[in-house]
Amino acid sequence: MTRVTKIQVEERRLSLFRLTILCMIIAGLFTGGFLGATGKIGNLWVSRAAAQNQWFAPYVDVTATPMFMFQNLGSTEHKDAVLAFIVSDPTNPCAPSWGGVYTLNQASETLDLDRRIARLHQQGGSVAVSFGGVKNNELAVGCTSTDELLSAYQSVIDRYNLTTIDLDLENSGLTDTAAGNRRAEVIAKLQSERRAVGKQLAVWVTLPVSPQGLSQDGTNAVEQLLENGVDLAGVNVMTMDYGSSLSSDQTMLTASENALIQTQRQLKILYKRVGIHLSDKTLWSKIGATPMIGQNDFRNEVFTLNDAQALNEFAHSRGVGRMSMWSVNRDIMCGSNYVDVGIVSDACSGVEQTQFGFSDLLGMNFKGDIVTSAGLITTSDQVSASEQEPDNPETSPYQIWSPTVMYLEGDKVVRHHNVYEAKWWTKGDVPDNPVLQSWETPWNLIGPVMPGEKPIPQPTLPKDAYPSWIETAKYEAGQRVIFEEVPYQAKWMSQGESPASALSDSDSSAWAPLTQAQINAVLSKLEGKE
């Protein structure tokens, strides 16, 4: 994965006011570094800093051919880059290597890597380094000694003077539980040791994702890191290569948006499990998005320039803390000699574009940078007075959820100041039940109740819209009845089977409650609108 950006910087003279604000920010960063060692820092400062330090940095495929001159990003607005990938050396598992091809020294000699990083620094840019990826073993998989593993990570951090690392966990890097525990233990120790001497080490974990959110392996990986005491800068999800999880009615954009929403919901639960309460705003600042620009690995999946612009707008609307892309090497149109753009290239996107077209769109209005954001410390947010107040039916757009009411597909309710929509009929299922996988709950979180909202009248069928269900009557498929004020439709022929059976076993029941969409259609017909 990787990304880039190019926009001219508008030079401005600093007013006295701006200069004062700048000094305050710098002072805050030093304070954050000092207080990080004690674990004490003001929540308000963290929230504001998070908002100010949303950053964009593309991944650079360091070992790809042709070599990408990432140091040239120094002439662009967004100068930062995430260099990928440090992996376990095939011949020496506890030694870090670039892509399993170059040792750190060989990368300096053959790729001139150290000098190119230094040149980027000269121009005001910075790098993070990503460990892992899909093709080789992440260090914690290959190296089973925690002492040697710590030394391996430390050697990379020290050599490149890193303030931020990225753990790209895929395949065995994601599924190997023992490796995950080693990694979490070592990273927590490294981070603690650096903070104790006033140095920063921001840790991002990058994970595959579906429109339904992180997999069980993904949430396990996050949980391992948090439980071992790692202060995660955030969770960056690879909004790409959805495969069979991409439904026929989803675009790459809508799938990516859903993936981010679900990941944010999951992250809230994972932090609660370790005793940290984070507001939705803070949680969004800990979410990163990394699309694969242009042609994805699946032929029918193409992330377009329009998608890039829309994803950028979505990210800003939610307060996403990081935007990346895979990769800046590919942020250029394929030449005429590239035969089949439906096959992924390491050196071009497969779509018609200008150079850095995706970087420009994805990075738009991301004003932060890798180094500054590394100073943020995670602490619990205070629970606001409004969150503690009970739901008020007079200021809620939909009815307050009740455990005794049956809700149909499409019904919306309010629970703890948030609006939820039923995915299928449900009764007694708590909308904000802390389940990690979306398929475990019949509710979708839509968003918060907005200030000034009033109840929205909900359309219901008149009691005589359909006949009441009669136990002795025979019903054919498609017939509709009213049972306990709820409309049902017969799925097949039945006699004597109560519609209540749908509540206990919807699959085997002969009845299904009407959805809200079906109810609306009936009402429109009754009102002569159809």
User: Does 414 have pLDDT greater than 60?
Assistant: yes
Task: Calculate mean pLDDT across residues 354-363.
Answer: 97
Of 357, 344, 448, the C-alpha closest to 134 is 344
pLDDT for position 517: 85
Task: Calculate mean pLDDT across residues 173-192.
Answer: 98
The model's pTM: 0.80
User: Does 530 have pLDDT greater than 80?
Assistant: no
What superfamily does domain 385-448 belong to in CATH?
Answer: Carbohydrate-binding module superfamily 5/12 (2.10.10.20)
Lowest-confidence pick of 45-54, 449-458, 520-529: 45-54
Instruction: Assign 529 a pLDDT band (cuts: 50, 70, 90).
Output: low
Instruction: Assign 57 a pLDDT band (cuts: 50, 70, 90).
Output: very high
Instruction: Assign 410 a pLDDT band (cuts: 50, 70, 90).
Output: confident
pLDDT for position 386: 66
Task: Calculate mean pLDDT across residues 63-80.
Answer: 95
The amino acid occupying position 523 is L
Quick: pLDDT tens for 218-268: 999 999 999 999 999 999 999 999 999 999 999 999 999 999 999 999 999
Q: Residue 409 and residue 389: Cα distance in Å, rounded?
A: 28
Task: Calculate mean pLDDT across residues 348-373.
Answer: 97
User: Does 502 have pLDDT greater than 70?
Assistant: yes
Reduced DSSP (H G I as helix, E B as strand, rest coil) percent helix, strand, coil of the chain, to 5 = 35, 20, 45
By CB neighbour count within 10 A (0-12 exposed, 13-18 middle, 19+ buried), where does 226 fall?
buried
By CB neighbour count within 10 A (0-12 exposed, 13-18 middle, 19+ buried), where does 504 fall?
exposed
Task: Calculate mean pLDDT across residues 503-511.
Answer: 83
16-373 CATH pick, 3.40.50.2300, 3.40.1280.10, 3.20.20.80, 3.30.2130.10: 3.20.20.80
Interhelix angle for 252-273 vs 216-227, to 10°?
Answer: 40
pLDDT for position 274: 97
Q: From residue 488, give the alpha-carbon distance in Å to each of 343, 403, 443, 459.
A: 49, 20, 20, 16
pLDDT for position 369: 95
Q: Residue 32 and residue 26: Cα distance in Å, rounded?
A: 10
Task: Calculate mean pLDDT across residues 196-216.
Answer: 97
Lowest-confidence pick of 16-30, 160-174, 253-267: 16-30
Delimit the domains of the chain by residue range: 16-373, 385-448, 474-526
Cβ-contact 40, 363 below 8 angstroms: no
User: Does 37 have pLDDT greater than 70?
Assistant: no
pLDDT for position 271: 98
Instruction: Assign 2 a pLDDT band (cuts: 50, 70, 90).
Output: very low
Tokens describing residue 314: 């979505």
User: Does 7 have pLDDT greater than 80?
Assistant: no
Lowest-confidence pick of 19-33, 82-96, 240-254: 19-33
Instruction: Assign 13 a pLDDT band (cuts: 50, 70, 90).
Output: very low
Quick: pLDDT tens for 129-141: 999 999 999 999 9
Q: What is residue 107's three-state secondary structure? A: helix
In whole numbers, what is the pLDDT of the chain averaged over residues? Answer: 89
Interhelix angle for 43-52 vs 16-36, to 10°?
Answer: 120
Q: What is residue 167's three-state secondary structure? A: strand
pLDDT for position 405: 85
Residues 6+ apart with CB under 8 A from 30: none
Of 193, 200, 100, the C-alpha closest to 141 is 100
Tell me which residue has tokens 């193409």: 302
Task: Calculate mean pLDDT across residues 480-493.
Answer: 91
User: Does 18 have pLDDT greater than 60?
Assistant: no
Instruction: Assign 8 a pLDDT band (cuts: 50, 70, 90).
Output: very low
pLDDT for position 409: 85
Q: Residue 25 and residue 372: Cα distance in Å, rounded?
A: 10
DSSP state of 380: P
User: Does 492 have pLDDT greater than 70?
Assistant: yes
Of 249, 239, 378, 245, the C-alpha closest to 311 is 239
Cβ-contact 225, 202 below 8 angstroms: no
pLDDT for position 464: 85
Task: Calculate mean pLDDT across residues 512-520.
Answer: 87
Q: Positive or negative CA dihedral for 216, 219, 221, 227?
A: negative
**Comparison of pLDDT for 224 and 529, the residue scoring more:** 224
**Comparison of pLDDT for 103 and 518, the residue scoring more:** 103
User: Does 22 have pLDDT greater than 50?
Assistant: no
Percent of the chain scoring above 70 in pLDDT: 89
Task: Calculate mean pLDDT across residues 305-322.
Answer: 97
Task: Calculate mean pLDDT across residues 34-60.
Answer: 55
Percent of the chain scoring above 90 in pLDDT: 76
pLDDT for position 52: 59
